[in-house]
Amino acid sequence: MSSQKYASLRYTALRFGLLIGCFAVVYVLCYAHVIPLGVGSSNLMWMVLLSLILSAPLSWVLLRKQRDAMSVQIVGRVDRAKERINSNAAQEDGA
């Protein structure tokens, strides 16, 4: 249970780390002139957008296990909330 306790936080941190890693790679490639720089002052925005585009499919493949653990955690929370709602509704109906 403790491994799933922080599943959402773990997935979010890994996803952010992957984005930062992709940004670092894009930054190096831009300034090594392997990929084109942005036009004028749009270079930073170009690198951020390219990093987002690269990190999305990578996270889909690389973070599957963490995403599944987060899903289990969320489903558990939703189920407990439904049980509380049903319990409260049953108490109100009985009173």
Instruction: Give DSSP secondary structure letters for 55-70.
Output: HHHHHHHHTHHHHHHH
Amino acid found at 40:
G
* Average pLDDT of span 75-83: 88
CB-based burial label for 45 (10 Å; 0-12, 13-18, 19+)? exposed
pLDDT in tens, 9-59: 999 999 999 999 999 999 999 888 898 887 777 788 989 999 999 999 999
pLDDT band at 1 (very low <50, low <70, confident <90, very high): very low
